[in-house]
Amino acid sequence: MELEDLKGIIRDVPDFPSKGIMFRDLTTLIKNGEALKVMSRGLAELYRDRGVTKVVGIESRGFIGGSILAYELGAGFVPARKPGKLPSVTIKKSYAKEYGVDTIELHSDAINENDVVVLHDDLLATGGTMKACYELVKSMNPKKIYINFVVELDALHGRDNLPSDVEITSLLRYE
């Protein structure tokens, strides 16, 4: 199985969560052992020799690929969570979504100036959540930040909302 074969395993769910949306359901990919292995290897190969020390996974689906990536790289895993979910001192960033305002939090001691960080989420749509996570991590002054997704929906132009000076990678892209 090759990376492009993963598209045939990802389930398309029309009109979810609302009419006119084609939802790309990655649960069908991660429940398939061979597909999960191909995804994991693909993610790791992108960053294997880049000195990554931390992977930040965005709640909740970003925890899956982010944890795998951190494990494969021998890096630490940092969860980016919704408010009130982390048990210690946090920093937070609020951001606009198509249906209101949301907030993301990190532990205040999760990243330091010696870290090389990959921000990971399962899917890039409009980029709002990742942009907020990037700004939060950037405020912690790491050495380097990369941004990564399993799937990118090109038609929504989410990359346009992310910083142009950061390397952004996606394993799979949909027009």
Q: Which domains does the chain carry?
A: 50-174 (3.40.50.2020)
Condensed to tens digits (0 to 9), the pLDDT of residues 79-104 reads: 999 999 999 999 999 998 877 899 99
User: Token digits for 42?
Assistant: 């693909």
pLDDT single digits (tens) 121-171: 999 999 999 999 999 999 999 999 999 999 999 999 999 999 999 999 999
C-alpha span between 19 and 98 (Å, rounded)? 14
C-alpha 141/C-alpha 133 separation (Å) is: 13
Annotated catalytic, 61? Answer: yes
Which residues are 104's β-sheet partners? 93
The tokens of 11 are what? 């389930």
The mean of the pLDDT values for the chain is 96
The catalytic position among 2, 98, 113, 175 is 98
The confidence score (pLDDT) of residue 99 equals 74
* pLDDT for the residue numbered 97: 80
Whole-number Å distance between alpha carbons of 39 and 69: 10
Cα torsion 121, 127, 129, 135: sign: positive
What number of CA atoms fall less than 13 Å from residue 115's CA on the CB side?
Answer: 24
Q: Is 173 a catalytic residue?
A: no
User: Percent of the chain at pLDDT above 70?
Assistant: 100
- DSSP summary character for residue 85: -
Non-local (6+) Cβ contacts of 1 within 8 A are 34, 35, 38
Catalytic entry in 61, 135, 173, 175: 61
